[in-house]
Amino acid sequence: MDTQLDTFFAALSDPTRRAVIERLTQGPAPVSELHAPHDMALPSFLKHLRRLETAGLIRSEKTGRVRSVRLAPEPLRQAEDWLNRQRKLWEGRTDRLQALAEALERKPS
C-alpha cells in the first residue's frame, strides 16, 4: 500500500495534474477539453495524463476519434482512508498534549 500512496501523492504533486483531477470531479471529459485551459503542447499534457493513469487516478477510453477521461475512485478512497488514520492519530496526540498542559496549569507552583 505504501508504494500505491507514494505513486498517488507523486501524481498529485503537480498543479496541472491536480487541475485535471479537479475538472474530472464534474464528470468525464474528452482530452481536448482537459487540455484547453493549459498553456502547453499536447504531447506534454499527455504525459501528465499518463502519470495520472499510471497512478490509477484516471481511466481513459477511445470512442471513434475521441479519447475520454474519467476519475477512478479507488485510489482516492485509499488515500482518504490513510489521511483519516493520520488525522485520528494526531488528534489523539494533541488531545493528550492539551490534557497535559491543563494538568500542569492546575498544579500548584
Helix, strand counts (H, E) of the chain: 5, 3
- Residue 64 Rama label (left phi>0; alpha psi -120 to 50; beta): left
DSSP 55: T
Compute and round to an integer the Cα radius of gyration of the chain.
21
Would you kindly state where each structural domain of the chain is located, as residue ranges? 2-106
Cα torsion angle, 74, 80, 85, 86, sign: positive
Mean pLDDT for 3-24 is 92
pTM value is 0.73
> In this predicted model, which residue has the larger pLDDT, 33 or 106?
33
Give the Cβ contact number of residue 54 at 10 Å: 12
pLDDT, one tens digit per residue, over 61-103 is 999 999 999 999 888 888 888 889 888 888 888 888 888 888 8
Compute the distance between CA of residue 24 and CA of residue 26 in angstroms, rounded to an integer: 5
**pLDDT category, 12, cuts 50, 70, 90?**
very high
Instruction: Write out pLDDT tens, residues 25-54.
Output: 999 999 999 999 999 999 999 999 999 999
What CATH fold (topology level) applies to the domain 2-106?
Arc Repressor Mutant, subunit A (1.10.10)
